[in-house]
């Protein structure tokens, strides 16, 4: 029996270990959150709600069936915070940390898993990168907590205010969207320090650690990699474009921006552009938004953040490659080029596959929820599904009303979104076919 287990373990690929690792952390979190000590009233939390919350935390989403601030005790919310941290950085980063503390050598197999988890181009310098990620993360979260503490401590007192500052800093940097206020950041819509601090943490966490490593060692724009240039460019386009469009769409809406001052309108429209990629905090009523604002939010949630960071979605680079491929085809160019560099057809195919699978998941899940969630409108269901897949956490109010089947489906969608649709399908598929057979070309009319 032991030999069979060993042989099975050896056959597991890095992507399979990665997928199983996330699921294991979710299950551990579920059982911890079920404990009476985890709830404020001291009763056992139903498994489905504990599992949903654990999945949402590990997948750094923020969708909840139970109000985080009202239901969970300090122990429960601390468990959620640790799950967010592990989910945001990846369990391999923490496994590496413990291995280094224990003086254990990082094996080649573990490095392969780290490479997959960190979206790294090579095996070289992965352990050093893991150390950098941990130090960078805790430093940024610490600074963020200090800024938030200046507002939370006067309001909640030293102990509770400090805890709130740390929790929300971790939640924002990991793009999780969990809050302890009970109404996200709506009470702080006009608070410059809180809105800008949370926004900065979301953007920093969503850019990706490889990009920040290059920014830290900045030696001129020409020295930046094509990856970093594309990430920064797409991020700026989405943030500024989203900010302007959200202001235009919601400025006259009496349920969102209209009653606010000009400062409040500018802050909240900026935050409504930042948060869908992919944090899940909100400073205005999501259900009160115009149809245009909701549609824009769905688009931003689907795209998400950047690879190698804490954000979800199909990623900015995937979107950028697809857009440049379209532009190059319109210009009758054979190859996709970005910043005067040719993108290999393999990367273009991968971007296309990720986007197609993502759209397939959204469509199938929307159809299923339209059957299970009787009475819910298509708008609410689509918003919920895209939010779950993009690991965002925004909702129009459907999450607490979900049926058991709906909760399980949303949990599965969050898991697919966090692990990555392509990674999950590769983990479930058989080994790659090494056949070198090439068939004659076939011509098909398209368009």
Position 311 scores a pLDDT of 81
306: confidence class by pLDDT, cuts 50, 70, 90: confident
Position 223 scores a pLDDT of 76
**CA-based torsion, 180, 184, 188, 192: positive or negative:** positive
> Does the structure show a pLDDT above 80 at 3?
no
Position 192 scores a pLDDT of 94
Q: Any residues with CB less than 8 A from the CB of 337 and at least 6 apart, and which?
A: 324, 328, 343
Mean pLDDT of 283-292: 93
Position 433 scores a pLDDT of 53
Rounded Cα distance, 114 and 93, in Å: 8
How far does Cα 350 stand from its chain's mean position?
Answer: 19
Rounded Cα distance, 421 and 363, in Å: 14
> Does the structure show a pLDDT above 50 at 8?
no
Task: Identify the weakest region by mean pLDDT among 368-372, 376-380, 442-446.
Answer: 442-446
pLDDT, mean over the chain:
85
> Does the structure show a pLDDT above 50 at 2?
no
Rounded Cα distance, 295 and 297, in Å: 5
Position 236 scores a pLDDT of 94
Mean pLDDT of 340-359: 90
Token output for 106: 């990082």
Q: Any residues with CB less than 8 A from the CB of 128 and at least 6 apart, and which?
A: none
Q: Any residues with CB less than 8 A from the CB of 244 and at least 6 apart, and which?
A: none
Convert the pLDDT of each residue in 195-234 to its tens digit. 999 999 999 988 887 788 788 777 666 678 898 899 999 9
Q: From the CB of residue 442, how many other CB atoms can be counted at a distance below 10 Å?
A: 5
Is 99 within 8 Å of 72 (Cβ atoms)?
A: no
Q: How far is CA 255 from CA 131, 143, 251, 258, 437, in A?
A: 46, 34, 10, 7, 61
């Amino acid at each position: 029996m032991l030999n069979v287990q060993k042989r099975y373990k050896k056959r597991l690929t890095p992507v399979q270990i990665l997928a199983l690792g996330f699921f294991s952390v979710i299950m551990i979190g579920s059982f911890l959150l079920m404990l009476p000590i985890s709830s404020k009233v001291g009763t056992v939390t139903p498994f489905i709600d504990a599992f949903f919350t654990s999945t949402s935390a590990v997948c750094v989403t923020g969708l909840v069936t139970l109000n985080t601030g009202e239901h969970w005790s300090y122990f429960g919310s601390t468990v959620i915070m640790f799950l967010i941290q592990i989910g945001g950085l990846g369990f391999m980063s923490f496994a590496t940390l413990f291995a280094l503390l224990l003086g254990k050598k990082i094996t080649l197999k573990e490095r392969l898993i780290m490479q997959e988890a960190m979206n790294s181009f090579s095996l070289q310098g992965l352990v050093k990168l893991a150390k950098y990620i941990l130090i960078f993360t805790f430093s940024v979260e610490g600074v963020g907590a200090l800024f938030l503490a200046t507002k939370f401590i006067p309001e909640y007192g030293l102990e509770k205010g400090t805890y709130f500052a740390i929790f929300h800093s971790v939640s924002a940097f990991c793009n999780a969207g969990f809050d302890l206020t009970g109404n996200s950041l709506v009470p702080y819509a006009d608070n410059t320090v809180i809105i800008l601090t949370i926004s900065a943490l979301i953007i920093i966490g969503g850019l990706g650690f490889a990009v920040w490593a290059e920014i830290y060692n900045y030696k001129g724009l020409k020295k930046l990699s094509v990856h970093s240039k594309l990430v920064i460019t797409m991020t700026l386009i989405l943030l500024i474009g989203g900010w302007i469009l959200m202001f235009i769409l919601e400025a006259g809406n009496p349920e969102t921006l209209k009653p606010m001052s000009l400062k409040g309108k500018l802050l909240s429209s900026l935050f409504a552009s930042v948060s869908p990629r992919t944090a899940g905090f909100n400073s205005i009523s999501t259900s009160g938004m115009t149809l245009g604002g909701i549609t824009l939010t769905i688009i931003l949630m689907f795209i998400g953040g950047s690879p190698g960071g804490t954000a979800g979605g199909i990623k900015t680079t995937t979107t950028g490659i697809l857009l440049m491929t379209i532009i190059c085809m319109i210009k009758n160019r054979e190859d996709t080029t970005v910043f005067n560099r040719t993108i290999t057809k393999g990367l273009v195919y991968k971007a296309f596959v990720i986007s197609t699978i993502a759209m397939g998941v959204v469509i199938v899940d929307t159809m299923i929820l339209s059957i299970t969630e009787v009475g819910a409108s298509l708008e609410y269901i689509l918003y919920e599904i895209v939010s779950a897949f993009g690991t965002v956490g925004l909702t129009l109010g459907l999450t607490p009303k979900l049926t058991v089947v709906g909760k399980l489906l949303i949990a599965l969608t969050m898991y697919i979104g966090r692990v990555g649709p392509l990674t999950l399908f590769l983990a479930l598929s058989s080994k790659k076919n090494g056949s070198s057979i090439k068939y004659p070309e076939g011509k098909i009319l398209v368009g």
